[in-house]
Amino acid sequence: MRAFLRRHRGLHTAAASLAAFIGLFYLLRQSRGIMTFWSERVALPWEQAVSRLCAKVPFSVAELLIALAVSAAVVWAMLLLRRLLAGPRRWEGLYAYLLGAACAVAAVYALFCLTWGCYYGAPSFQERSGITARGGTAAELRQVTERFASELAALSDQVPRDENGLMSAERQQVMADATAAYETLYDDYPFLAAPALSVKGIANSDIMSMCQFTGFYFPFTGEANLNMDSPVAFLGATVCHEMSHQRGVASEQECNFLGILGAVASPDPACRYSGWLLGYVHLSNALYRADRSAWQQVRDSLPEAVRLDIAYNNAYWAAYRGAVQQVSDKVYEGFLHANGVTDGLQSYGTVVDMLLAYYL
């Protein structure tokens, strides 16, 4: 046994050190002051500096790193199998391989805690902005939903459309317009202000669609990564959503709110349309549950072009539902719970309460 422990002393030391570090982080995350200092003075400046560096290359560095990690995992699995099939002390080799893999995962998670997990213990956008999610009556919900439906109706014939009547704006232009539109939020929320940061389209966007992701923020590179296959009608708001993460907003529902707010501020009709459309979808879903008759009346007031965009979006994501999406949802819901978001995926509904607080 002593010889066994001596041979794997390095792995045991690494595993114990990483476990202690992660445990210490979870203890310190209870301190709002420590998390605020770390997130604002260390994590955010570091991520934004890395993001500006990554902006110098045309592809997503995050996608490259993920591909390399997956390749390394495949190679590791092949080496593990080889070790099991041949070689002395095969079970000791299995132990070393598994412990080494656990240490590698723990090291990545520890870095994640330092670059992103800290934001879950810092003040939220609601606390810093004064816009607090509030409940509302069905009548108030209908009022705001009608406002969004009216804006959509006014914009529906101002955006480019294809032969099927679907919005068909050029994606790179929408991304550029959304990036510029987001900057209009700085006057009201100066704590969001930041220099130009990296916004990238993902080459293998079909994998993102399988996971039901329109975009994701990668804290290790500071990049906002976008699904370039999903319906373009929602792209502008998605860009603004991911840009909120780049500015230290961790909450998905708060980023949805900022995605809508940023997009509707754009002078470009296509980007503005995406913001009103995303907001309408959230509000309409809530209104459907609160007052089915009111929902039907508001829906019937929409131009056919808007209903086509919504129907196409629903059909697009329905085609990708399956085992991968279910696993993705479970993993992400577990991640939300681990970081103190007790409502899991249901927390996305909070954006409706924030829209009511803002527009009423």
Residues 202-258 have pLDDT tens digits of 999 999 999 999 999 999 999 999 999 999 999 999 999 999 999 999 999 999 999
pLDDT band at residue 346 using 50, 70 and 90 as cut-offs: very low
Same domain assignment for residues 97 and 63: yes
Same domain assignment for residues 132 and 111: no
Same domain assignment for residues 168 and 222: yes
Domain final residue pick, 67, 102, 121: 121
pLDDT band at residue 324 using 50, 70 and 90 as cut-offs: very low
pLDDT of 345 above 60 = no
Amino acid identity for residue 219 in this structure: P
Domain final residue pick, 91, 121, 151: 121
Q: Do 195 and 48 meet the contact criterion of CB atoms below 8 Å apart? A: yes
Same domain assignment for residues 142 and 16: no
Domain final residue pick, 121, 143, 165: 121
Distance CA 305, CA 296 (A): 17
Overall number of domains in the chain? 2
Same domain assignment for residues 280 and 331: yes
Domain hosting 45: range is 2-121
> Which residues lie closer than 8 Å to 275 by C-beta, 6 or more apart?
236, 237, 240, 259, 260, 261, 262, 263, 264, 265, 266
Same domain assignment for residues 105 and 247: no
Same domain assignment for residues 68 and 105: yes
